[in-house]
Structure 1
């Protein structure tokens, strides 16, 4: 007795014509459901079976008076049913968690084929599995099928995802100017399609970058900025951000005025430079020399020597101590 065309709910049986005569054939189907059939040819489609179930088929020839010959026995599993839905949850840099619905009928296990780098094949005995040891930011396709006790496999259900890109270990800030900074970072482990850069400050901005460095410009002098950078996978999944901060360099002071010159003092004033600053530094060159920190746009420099020559250099200072270019002016004190 041959078994062909096995599906989820049917099998096709065929057999050779026995020697002599018979009026019919009797077929006993043992399994769930069981059934008894009477057939008048040498083949039959046995249907309305349960996916993934084990069935035994006993066939015998029947004479006109109902006498039965010896039985021939064969058995098989039906094909397991397809898995309707496979969910991907808890995606990390090196693992994904797969879960799926219990298919109709029975199965002894599930086969999972993981396509990507690395590829792997898994056999699972429940309706969920953690697939680990993956590469950050890589694209993976997961094919799952139910497997019957004899190895017959059902149709596959397929889904895909990227893993989360890896963390960027370190971000450097270089070439800080009054309106720009250059950011650079190492290539993270695994893969990524781009980088996302969030600039927090005034102005704030969001950038997408395709290399491991970027010039962030159109910033405000002397402002404080925080830079968040993260790798992005091909489907938009983002890795954890790496964060660093800095002030831009304060702008130059355009004009410094010297007024009210006396024998031992001068009065300096200047306009507010563009952008921001936390203070001003003043370097007084002469005898005596001195260094001052000022928090407004004017200062009385006293305790000078009558008739001496003094040079005054003033520069804006950012919150982290960055200094802008100095503005220089000179004068003699009165005698």
Structure 2
């Protein structure tokens, strides 16, 4: 049947688009597809020539030309039912996609919404028919533990039956009955704490019911009854069949009564009859009861007023398809002034016959393409074009892919630099072909471009001496830049500022200047001795500019010049590989006078100075100062034109510094010639030494008369001990000193000198003994002799003492060390 329907020829009515919910239902995820629904009929192209198709043909057509047959849920029902004019097939079939009827839509979605016409769907009823059995009990008894101390006995002496319309009787272990609206009854009492018996479980499975539904249907709260129903014959709509009922019978259990307690016990049960499930000897079997309106494997039709009803799938009806709105993307590549390249997303499914490309702009173009790309030619520069690509499926245009683009504007013509300054460049050019909104000029070191409406511009705020690349483009739509046209130019370098000559050398001109604003590639300087150089340039070699030189960096240093001479110095910054020159600046530069060479001759109170010089000079400034403790006290400052000078009235033993400076007419000094020398020192005044204690002596003296008033005199002091053969020296600047850590009772000799550089005066002398510390040293003399009474003789004792005193006096000179020797007669 499906092959008889030709896809592409069904007239369609678009119902609407659904994504998410606007009626209080949960909204679908953001990435959910946007669905569109279509009312369709086959026209006269089906096999019967009527307006409609079978359900299978409709589904085939929906799958070929759309996504699938329509599914209905609470979120899209309002879109679908509002424009119905007849009954339509929808994508629901009784036995489709699963064993549970009416559970799945044709696209696989679960059925979550139903709107059946009253009394529909008509189901085929399955009625269990139960009968008594004397089968051998189950080989494995059912063991059920009690969860409460209450005990329940199940006995089988009585007969309980349940009779359905098919007269099936089932006997349970206890006499209890439930009566249905027919003639069926079930005798059963079930303790809720005990598992259900296997037989009842099988019955509920046959009935496709739960225990709760069974209790509601048969009102188990009514007193138990026993009702028997005679067998009857049930005839289906397809094939008549007669099923005799089973006569209920009872089979006693092996134990008359079984008690369930908290201790698990076993109770024999009957093995259920599974004949209805492919086995034999079952106490329960089933037969279908088929209503007259029941349709085997029915398909659902959506009625014109929105409710559902099942119909034979071969009936001919219009149908509803749905499709997911196609959202593709067009990419633009290789756009130039007159062409561009398009490529787009493939349409959904396998039945896209071609793509219709529509280009609109200053003129329109349409193309039919089977591929996914197209090169568009013969476009106008700087023009906007709109492109739509329609995938064509079964003769139907899908949602188009859209894009807009501008072709590049053409490049400007005859771009040139008109003039430059330190911080600006002026450009002009001719109009390009095609369209443009304005001109954009991008400067190479700036992030933002500048806009101009005319074919001329002045670019300001530039850095002096810098090289710039200027890119000029025609622009449309504020974002689409045309073909670039480039030109480069240097701004003029800044004027040199702060130019100055060091004037600090007799043979070298040294000049420097402040760091200029901007960039340079070098400097041009000219140095003339007699003529000015303000008009010299890098391209002008006049006689006045013969002494010009290009350097790459400052400062300027020119050697071999005459001391004490004036020169004209001119400097200009260069750029563009030293071809573009800034404004020239001129100053006077001098070589300073040369430094004299001094010779000094000292005396105790005079110094004679003489010197020699090279080059030009005007006068000499001479000065003398005392040099003491880094002090520079000037005692005399004179000017002379002679090459010598004598300094008198000086102090003896003092260091003097003589300075000679050469001066030019403009007062420019030379580097000073500096030399120091000491006047010859004279001896200090008398020295006096005083013992302070056993370890210290204070020494004082007078300053030399020739040195009185000097800021600083250096004295060299020595002391020594003859007896101990030791001595030390020190230098002081005052006329006294105390020596400590001396030996007691010892004589020390002192000498004081005036020291002036490497010159030393004659010394003055002083001597003193430290205070002795008295200690007693006892000598005990033992006399032994062979002569009787010799040692007791006074003469012998006196002679011995005399010899001892001679020995001590010889070794301990009384003038160098203090001592006293006494004898004691201890007779």
Under a length normalisation based on structure 1, what TM-score does the superposition of the two structures give? 0.62
Tell me what 2:522 maps to.
279
Q: How does 1:104-183 map to 2 (within 5 A)?
A: 106-147=351-392, 156-167=400-411, 171-183=415-427
Task: Tell me the equivalent position of 2:449.
Answer: 207
2:573 corresponds to: 316
Partner residue of 2:435? 191
Deviations 1:42-67 (A, max 9, x none): x979888xxxxxxxxxxxxxxxxxxx
CA distance, structure 2, for counterparts of residue 207 and residue 189 of structure 1: 22
Residue 328 of structure 1 corresponds to which residue in structure 2?
Answer: 586
- 1:254 corresponds, among 482, 493, 497, to 497
CA pair 148-319 structure 1, distance change in 2 beyond 3 A:
closer
Q: Secondary structure at the match of 1:215?
A: strand
Report how far residue 323 of structure 1 moved: 0.7
Supply the distance in 1 between the matched residues of 2:414 and 2:88 (Cα, whole angstroms).
66
Structure 1 residues 143 and 276: alpha-carbon distance in aligned structure 2, compared to 1, 3 A threshold: closer
C-alpha displacement of 1:125: 2.5
Higher alpha-carbon deviation: 218-227 or 191-200:
191-200
* Residue pair 1:180, 1:219 contacting (<8 A) in 2 also: yes
User: Which one has the largest radius of gyration?
Assistant: 2
Tell whether the 8 Å contact from 1:172 to 1:184 is kept in structure 2 after alignment. yes
- Looking at structure 2, the residues matched to 235 and 257 of structure 1 have their Cα atoms a distance apart, in angstroms, of 52
| Residue in 1 that maps onto 2:556 | 298
CA spacing shift, 1:302–1:7, aligned 2, 3 Å: farther
Residues 87, 241 of structure 1: alpha-carbon distance in 2 compared, 3 angstrom cutoff: same
Higher relative contact order (CA 8 A, sep 6+): 1
8 A Cα contact 2:421 2:492, kept in partner: yes
How big is the shift at 1:124?
1.9
Query: Partners in 1 of 2:574 and 2:53 — Cα distance?
Result: 92
**CA shift digits 1:128-153 (9 cap, x unpaired):** 3222222333211113334578x775
The answer to whether structure 1 residue 224 and structure 2 residue 481 are counterparts is no
For the residues of structure 2 that align with 1:290 and 1:240, how far apart are their CA atoms?
A: 50
Stretches of structure 2 lacking an aligned partner (at least 5 in a row): 1-8, 15-37, 60-84, 91-322, 532-542, 592-614, 617-827
Where 2:463 maps in the other structure, the secondary structure is coil
In the alignment of these two chains, the number of paired residues is 282
Q: How does 1:82-93 map to 2 (within 5 A)?
A: 84-93=327-336
Q: Residue 57 of structure 2 is aligned with which of 15, 29, 33? A: 33
Report if the CA contact (8 A) 1:99-1:129 is conserved. no
Instruction: Give the secondary structure class of the aligned counterpart of 1:206.
Output: coil
Whether the 8 Å contact between 1:81 and 1:104 is mirrored in structure 2 is no
Q: 1:314 and 1:263, CA in 2 relative to 1: closer, same or farther beyond 3 A?
A: same
**Counterpart secondary structure, 1:175:** strand
Measure the CA separation in 1 of the matches of 2:325 and 2:432. Answer: 39
Q: Is the 8 A contact 2:441 2:449 kept in 1?
A: yes
CA contact (8 A) 1:171 1:185 kept: yes
1:101 match: secondary structure: coil
How far has the Cα of 1:207 moved from its partner? 1.9
Secondary structure (helix, strand or coil) at the match of 1:33 reads helix
Distance 1:89 1:292, change over 3 A: same
Task: Quote the offset at 1:291 in angstroms.
Answer: 2.2
Q: CA deviation at 1:332?
A: 11
Instruction: State the Cα deviation string for residues 136-174 of structure 1 (Å, max 9, x = none).
Output: 33211113334578x775665433222344455664333
Structure 1: how far apart are the matches of 2:326 and 2:413? Answer: 41
Which residue of structure 1 aligns with residue 344 of structure 2?
99
Higher mean C-alpha deviation, range 295-304 or range 109-118: 295-304
Q: Is the 8 A contact 1:165 1:238 kept in 2?
A: yes
Q: d(CA) in 1 for partners of 2:549 and 2:487?
A: 30
Summarize deviations over 1:213-251 as a string: whole Å, max 9, x none.
Answer: 432222222233344444444262445644443332111
- Following superposition, the deviation at residue 95 of structure 1 comes to 0.9
1-side partners of 2:375 and 2:324: how far apart?
23
Q: Distance in 2 between matches of 1:146 and 1:267?
A: 83
